[in-house]
Amino acid sequence: MFRFFAAPQEISAESIILSKEDSEHIRALRLRPDELFIVCDGIGTDYVCRLGDRDHCTYARIVDKHPSLGEPSIECKVFMAYSKGERLEFAVQKSVELGVHEIILFESERCVAVPKNIKKKTERLQKIALETAKMCNRGVIPMVTAGGKFDAIIGEAMRSSELPLFFYESEDKLHIKTVLEQYFPPPGEQNKKKIKSVSLITGPEGGFEPHEVGLAQSMGLHIVSLGTRVLRSETAPVIALAAVMYQTNNL
C-alpha cells in the first residue's frame, strides 16, 4: 500500500487531514475511493485509510489502525562527518532504510567538503529521509541535523546513548563483532546489561586525526574497527548500522 505521513495534530478519531503535497501526490497516483493506503503519525502508529474526499483528496477516512511494524527495538543515532558529492545522500538514504533513529552531521579536521549552506543541505537530506521512510514502511521520520564541530558531537554521543562506538580505520584490537556480542549476546545467553540506545560515529574521506581519536577515547567511547579493509565514508555508517541491527535481531 502507498504510505504517507501526517502530524499527530492533523489526526482525529475518524479522519486525517492530508498535506497539500500528499494530496497532489494522491491525485497523481489516481487512487480510487475504495483503495486502501497508509498514513503514519510519525511516532509509531499506522492508520489504514480510504479517501475521504474523492474530488479534492484533502483528507483520509480512517478504516483501521495498528502499531508501525518497521521500527527497530534499538535506538541508533549515526554521527557522520561531512563528505563531498552525493555520498551524504547515499549514507542518509541507506541509514533510514536500515532503521536509524537520528542522523547528526558534523565537521572534523579532515573533512574535505563542508557545505557552504548547511541549512539548505540538511533540508535536502531531511527530504531524502522522508521519502525513504515512506518507501520502507518506517513508523518515524528520522531527523537529520547539523551537530557542529567534532568536540561537540563527541559529548552529545556520550550523553545521548548507552553505548557510544567510534569507528577508526587504524584500530586493530577491538572489532565491532566483539563489542556487539558483549552487549547483545546470542539468544539463550544472559545479557548482563540491557542496552536500548547506541551511537555510531564515522569519519570523513580522510579519516580521523590521531588527536581526535585520543579525545574520543579519553571521554570513554569505544574505539572500534570495522575490519581489515578501509571503507569509504558513505559505506562505513551503513555497515556499522547493519551490524547493530543484525546483532539485535532487527534485520
Return the amino acid letter for 208: F
Determine what percent of the chain is predicted with pLDDT higher than 70.
95
Tell which CATH classification among 3.40.50.360, 3.40.50.720, 3.40.1280.10, 3.90.1310.10 matches the domain 75-247. 3.40.1280.10
Residue 46: left if φ>0, alpha if ψ -120 to 50, beta else—which one? beta
User: What pLDDT is stored for residue 193 in this prediction?
Assistant: 67
CA distance 113 to 100: 24
Write out pLDDT tens, residues 207-239.
999 999 999 999 999 999 999 999 999 999 999
Residue 189 reports pLDDT greater than 80: no
Domains in the chain: boundaries: 3-67, 75-247
pLDDT category at 56 given cuts 50, 70, 90 is low
Return the amino acid letter for 121: K
| C-beta separation of 205 from 112 below 8 A | yes
Calculate Rg over the CA atoms of the chain. 20
pTM metric for this prediction: 0.90
User: What pLDDT is stored for residue 55 in this prediction?
Assistant: 57
Q: Which of 197, 204, 133, 207 is nearest to 165 (CA)?
A: 197
Architecture of domain 3-67: Beta Barrel (2.40)
* 39 CB burial (10 A radius; 0-12, 13-18, 19+): buried
User: What pLDDT is stored for residue 136 in this prediction?
Assistant: 92
**DSSP class of 175:** B
For residue 97, what is its C-alpha cell? 532504510
22/192: higher pLDDT: 22
